Structure 1
Amino acid sequence: MASSADISLALVAGEVSGDMLAGRLMAGLRPHLPNARFSGIGGPRMIEQGLVSSVPMDTLTVRGLFEVIPRYREIKGIQNKLRDQLIAERPAAFIGADYPGFNLGLEEQLRAAGIPTVHFVSPQIWAWRGGRIKKIKRAVSHMLVIFPFEEQIYRDAGVPVTYIGHPLAEMIPLQPDVAGARRSLGLAGDARVVTVMPGSRMGEIKYLTEPFMRAVRILAQRDPQLKFVMPMAGERQKALFTELAAKAGLSDVPVQLVDGQSHTAIAAADAVLVASGTATLEVALFKKPMVIAYKVFEASWQIMRHMGYMPWIGLPNILSREFVVPEFLQHAARPEALADAVWRQLEDTAGRERLAQRFTDMHHSLLRNSAAESAEAVLRVIGKAT
């Protein structure tokens, strides 16, 4: 039997959330495969666990249907080069962390070449593009899902599947330390705080900076004592945000920018204005009321809105199967509407308490030892389960 030093695993993440998921999986594998080699594409959390990344993860990060077109040749070239490299090297398995547009195509080719494939996080086939289940069945040897309702979808389709819980449910405390978070950010304990999260992707920042900042200006005029905190995912995001705010004449809007520290900023909040995506689940796990917004390139929106199967886009609403928090999509994401919705949440004490209980129940439903369970599934795939 080969030792762990002889085992290589390939992984690809294309965004911050995938980097976090794959990093935890790698940490779960290390006790079982202490000398295994990890290669592929990933971000800082995967690199911290020993990944040798062939290109910077940011190279793959593109948002929207039409936005990918100018970079299609570059990204396809990266995919083809990695495919050829992995077919030559024959890793024990390939693990795609989310990023389905890139990873599923790569997985299909690798599996056809005899390399086992694991996909970590189901594409949202339950929300849109349900026909992808056929491609998934061809591409994926084993699917790891992070929401309870997804497991039955794959069992019904004949795809081997494991529900591993959501890693964020382990990372975020059941009872957030609001006072500690405010001290960390230099905020008074009795302040009213709104955290503003325009996203970590450049496209999100491009489309949400102006409506979010104009909403902040409206709220600040209603209550000059309100405090606004905006965590920035990195220097590139911060530079783009600053440039766009200046171009829109919004540099004077009173927002405290912080580097990273998104969880601290959420914990400190009374309400959160947030871009649709994984961050909405983070806000829910911190038991905070939120207003969700989503904007993309107009042509992308016209296609996407006809492909959706659900009335919800935010993860808290999808998991609750109802609109527990408001969503404002594309043209509806106007500054006045966003500001009014945040203001209602700030003023509704009873509503915040109801939401906190709802989100506590959600937290419990998602809580598993995801690193251990995902690692065990991968070990079964490569024949190393104990």
Structure 2
Amino acid sequence: MVAGEASGDLLASHLIAAVRERVPDAEFVGIGGPRMQAAGLQSWWPAETLAVMGFVDVLKRLPELLRVRSGLLRRLKEAPPDLFIGVDAPDFNLPVERKLRRAGVRTMHYVSPSIWAWRGGRVHKIGRAAQHVLCLFPFEPEIYAKQGIAASFVGHPLADVFPLEDQRLKARELLQIDAEEQVLAILPGSRNGEVSRLAPIYVETIKRLAAERPALRFLVPLITRSTRDIFEKVLHEAGAGDLPIRLMFGHAHDAMAASDVVLVASGTATLEAALLKRPMVISYKVGKWTFKIVRAMGYLPWVGLPNILAREFLVPELLQDDATPEKLSAALGKWLDDAAARAALAGKFEQMHLSLRQNNADKAAAVVLAALGRA
């Protein structure tokens, strides 16, 4: 097994535990982080070796990455495993899977790349590499089936972790927020670049809403010191230091659960907000040419996971030039003023939650063991 990021490390650790529960003497080797190692993986290289982000970072680390890949392939060909599972990290794992498959090793890829959103031609590359794909979303296996590639929907791990019941009162008690207050959670992203682009727009949106709704309170969870510094700088420059804004270190789930409505940068946080049954407005902003290229390569009219799963615009998406304080504050205000619409959306999100809640680790383990003839 090979996983290079924290999310893959967590996902794979649960799969290792589920397999070992059924086959206690199973052995796991490869590359993984602390959770996979705690579950029983013998990691030959540190997982951080693969944790690169962005074109420039990859170029800087390319010689090291190629050495690791070459060493990994050499060891796996010398002592072939019964199965190789690449966990996400497709740029590293798919070439490894392809070469191992040619050498006669059974291969599997866990977490489908988003071929349904853009770069759909990758499906053929995946088919040459993996004999089976474990998918987190229910619409993905059909895409692979059309190309003659075996794939199984195993559910989304977040759907297993998040409770079905509304956590609003519990979260408000934890954060010491009055049950009757109206609260907006603001999530400007987890990376410095995202926060730098979105913070000025979000702060102006907060200013507009605060002027229109003096009783409204704002929660802004930020994951790192650097992202908090960026947001605080924008607040200071905008003269918004006296607004009812509570900056938080992490605790994004608590902030969303305690809120009435969420303003969120596109990404996994949109799915988390849906699993918490919160209405939201999704926004994002990138460089002008990056946006044009991504739009040209895209296949769907939606970018937010809740809308993609529903195949309709359940929640507004205000992207690029549409991500203005005027439009964002108006869209958020509609949710804040319409309790019936919020309740109806919560019901749809509950059905979405149930469709994704499949006991992910057990279901994935069953597919793995069936591939090994150990069902």
Confirm whether residue 11 of structure 1 aligns to residue 2 of structure 2: yes
- 1:71 counterpart (57, 62, 72): 57
The C-alpha deviation readout for 1:49-104, integer Å capped at 9, x for no partner, is: 45548446497353xxxxx3322323433431221222132155443333334433
Confirm whether residue 60 of structure 1 aligns to residue 46 of structure 2: no
Confirm whether residue 311 of structure 1 aligns to residue 301 of structure 2: yes
The residue number in structure 2 matching 1:6 is: none
The residue number in structure 1 matching 2:69 is: 83
Structure 1 distance, partners of 2:208, 2:140, is: 40
Q: What are the within-5 Å matches in structure 2 for residues 104-123 of structure 1? A: 104-123=94-113
Contact map agreement 1:181 1:264 (CA 8 A) in 2:
yes
- 1:262 counterpart (252, 256, 259): 252
The residue number in structure 1 matching 2:85 is: 95
Q: What are the within-5 Å matches in structure 2 for residues 282-293 of structure 1? A: 282-293=272-283
Confirm whether residue 336 of structure 1 aligns to residue 326 of structure 2: yes
Contact map agreement 1:213 1:253 (CA 8 A) in 2:
no
Give the C-alpha shift of residue 292 in structure 1: 0.3
Contact map agreement 1:11 1:96 (CA 8 A) in 2:
yes
Structure 2 distance, partners of 1:285, 1:107, is: 33
Structure 2 distance, partners of 1:58, 1:206, is: 27
The C-alpha deviation readout for 1:241-273, integer Å capped at 9, x for no partner, is: 445555666555543222332222221110001
Structure 2 distance, partners of 1:208, 1:232, is: 13
The residue number in structure 2 matching 1:221 is: 211
Contact map agreement 1:143 1:160 (CA 8 A) in 2:
yes
Extract unaligned runs of 5+ from structure 1.
1-9, 63-67
Q: TM-score, normalised by structure 2?
A: 0.88
Structure 1 distance, partners of 2:20, 2:192, is: 33
The residue number in structure 2 matching 1:151 is: 141
Change (3 A) 1:245 1:135: farther
Q: What are the within-5 Å matches in structure 2 for residues 120-199 of structure 1? A: 120-199=110-189
Structure 1 distance, partners of 2:180, 2:145, is: 50
Change (3 A) 1:255 1:23: farther
Change (3 A) 1:75 1:336: farther
Structure 2 distance, partners of 1:362, 1:73, is: 39
Structure 2 distance, partners of 1:171, 1:220, is: 34
Structure 1 distance, partners of 2:241, 2:86, is: 40
The C-alpha deviation readout for 1:144-202, integer Å capped at 9, x for no partner, is: 11111111111221212111011111111111221110111121111111111122233
Give the C-alpha shift of residue 308 in structure 1: 1.1
* Helix, strand or coil at the partner of 1:157: coil
Contact map agreement 1:104 1:139 (CA 8 A) in 2:
yes
Confirm whether residue 348 of structure 1 aligns to residue 338 of structure 2: yes
Contact map agreement 2:190 2:227 (CA 8 A) in 1:
yes
Change (3 A) 1:332 1:101: farther
The residue number in structure 2 matching 1:278 is: 268
Contact map agreement 1:83 1:110 (CA 8 A) in 2:
no
Identity %: 42
1:210 partner amino acid: P
* Helix, strand or coil at the partner of 1:76: helix
Change (3 A) 1:240 1:380: farther
Change (3 A) 1:153 1:211: same
Structure 2 distance, partners of 1:278, 1:269, is: 18
Extract unaligned runs of 5+ from structure 2.
none
Confirm whether residue 212 of structure 1 aligns to residue 202 of structure 2: yes
The residue number in structure 2 matching 1:385 is: 374
Contact map agreement 1:13 1:96 (CA 8 A) in 2:
no
Give the C-alpha shift of residue 355 in structure 1: 0.4
Change (3 A) 1:85 1:376: farther
The residue number in structure 2 matching 1:26 is: 16
Structure 2 distance, partners of 1:266, 1:177, is: 9
Structure 1 distance, partners of 2:192, 2:83, is: 31
The root-mean-square deviation of aligned C-alpha atoms, in Å, is: 2.6
Contact map agreement 2:52 2:58 (CA 8 A) in 1:
no
Change (3 A) 1:152 1:56: closer
- Name the count of aligned residue pairs: 369
The residue number in structure 2 matching 1:7 is: none
1:76 partner amino acid: L
Structure 2 distance, partners of 1:301, 1:233, is: 25
The residue number in structure 1 matching 2:348 is: 358
Contact map agreement 2:97 2:107 (CA 8 A) in 1:
yes
**Larger deviation, residues 201-210 vs 250-259:** 250-259
The residue number in structure 2 matching 1:324 is: 314
Give the C-alpha shift of residue 312 in structure 1: 0.7
Structure 2 distance, partners of 1:133, 1:148, is: 17
Change (3 A) 1:27 1:190: farther
Contact map agreement 1:126 1:309 (CA 8 A) in 2:
yes
Structure 1 distance, partners of 2:10, 2:318, is: 27
